[in-house]
Amino acid sequence: MKFNILFLLFLLPFVCCAQEMNQIDENTVCIKGDTILYYDAEGFAISRLAHSDSLKTHKYIISFKGNNGKAEIHLVYKYPKLETLIGRLLPQVIFFDIKGKPVGINEKDITVICFWDKYCSSCIRELIVLDILAVDYPNVAFVALTPDSCEEVRNLMKKLRLKWENIAVVPAYDGEFTDILHIFVYPSNVILDKNRVVRGVTVGGNIRLLLSTLEEVSGKD
């Protein structure tokens, strides 16, 4: 999964020498101690370069801990996790799919909004599975939003021989939902009821969790 977070590719902490630690502001810390360890927002050790690159996205602030001469610098999401959005009412929005057809978010009992892009292999696998499973969920609309252009999506589908006949693929999306929901990980899925209320969320290509959440929300046995 691309995750749009490159620092997940770095699993080893960056270690250097120091002696004392003081936080100057939300993105700056002055450290002197024995060891500095860097961690991502999920608690995984990362390199200093990955930590620095992540801060440049302006999606994180830093939190630091220290004991026995070891300083730990943790990334913290500026915005709440998707789970905190459950129960929230989303605005009415009309998308336009790859064929130019308008797509609403309350046309069926349940709508699953999938955020993805062409570089995310787990996103593509997930959409392939959902396109097949959509047949078993006639009361559910699957809407896949991507920042990739229409041409890029068409080329991807042609290259991988994808049809995605049961999913509304919305290309070149850079609208308000990205800002409202603070999407910074692909794939991310937001499940809405017919009243546009968020009933569930999944992140990271966990199809089993997505399906169990979907079954719970839709009342499917």
CA 169, CA 31: separation in Å to the nearest integer? Answer: 47
CA 22, CA 20: separation in Å to the nearest integer? Answer: 7
> Which residues, at least 6 apart from 179, have a Cβ–Cβ distance to it below 8 Å?
none
pLDDT digits (tens, 9 = 90+) for 46-73: 888 888 888 887 777 787 766 556 778 8
User: Domain segments of the chain: what residues?
Assistant: 6-77, 82-218
User: What integer pLDDT is reported at residue 156 of this predicted model?
Assistant: 94
pLDDT digits (tens, 9 = 90+) for 98-147: 999 999 998 899 999 999 999 888 899 999 998 998 998 999 999 999 99
Where residue 69 falls (left for φ over 0; alpha for ψ -120 to 50; beta otherwise) is left
CA 210, CA 166: separation in Å to the nearest integer? Answer: 17
pTM more than 0.85? no
Within a 13 Å sphere around the CA of 198, how many CA atoms are in the beta-carbon half?
A: 19
Report whether the peptide linkage leading into residue 171 is cis, meaning its omega lies within 30 degrees of zero: no
CA 141, CA 189: separation in Å to the nearest integer? Answer: 12
pLDDT digits (tens, 9 = 90+) for 155-207: 999 999 998 999 999 999 987 776 677 777 788 899 999 999 999 988 877 88
> Per CATH, which fold does 82-218 belong to?
Glutaredoxin (3.40.30)
